[in-house]
Amino acid sequence: MNTMDIRAILDHLPHRYPMLLVDRVLDVTPSSHIHAVKNVSINEPFFTGHFPHHPVMPGVLILEALAQAAAILSFKTLGNRPDDKSVYYFVGIDDARFKRPVSPGDQLHLHVAIDGPVRRGLWKFKAEARVDGQLATEAGLMCTVRTIEGA
């Protein structure tokens, strides 16, 4: 089992607080799958407005957490890390479904698997987020790494 602590995650993602949405990787198998965790805390900046009377993690941020897990899987598969000359883009979401709300105190388990070969630089993934074993969100994701012009 290949685990990653927060220091290793920071080495494999360009994201930083408040947009870093992966706290730990429990298992990653390059060219295959990743199981990561996002600990959902009431201290998250989005909870002050979404919603003050009933805090719920925005679905777009659950999808972003899944995309970040996919990015780690991509970089581990390629055997490299992000740099200042490239950026990892989230380019597509298919069939996103939200099955249950995610609230403060939940531990969001992010499961992402590569869904077929990389074509023209596009990675496809099957992704799901679970809380207490229950499906919270599922989607097909597409991501790519692009060179930043003028970098």
Cα angle at 120 between 90 and 69, to 5 degrees? 30
CATH value at residue 74: 3.10.129.10
pLDDT (mean) for 35-56 = 95
pLDDT at position 86, please? 84
Range of the domain at 106: 6-147
**Number of domains the chain contains:** 1
- Residue-wise pLDDT tens digits, 94-133: 999 999 999 999 999 999 999 999 999 899 999 999 999 9
pTM as predicted: 0.96
The answer to whether 45 and 60 have CB atoms below 8 angstroms apart is: no
Whether residue 1 lies inside any domain: the answer is no
Whether residue 129 lies inside any domain: the answer is yes
Query: Distance (Å, rounded) from C-alpha 85 to C-alpha 92?
Result: 22
pLDDT at position 132, please? 98
Whether residue 136 lies inside any domain: the answer is yes
Whether residue 108 lies inside any domain: the answer is yes
Q: What is the DSSP string of 114-143?
A: E-S--BTTEEEEEEEEEETTEEEEEEEEEE
List the catalytic residues.
50
Task: With residue 34 as reference, give the H or E element that holds it.
Answer: strand 33-39
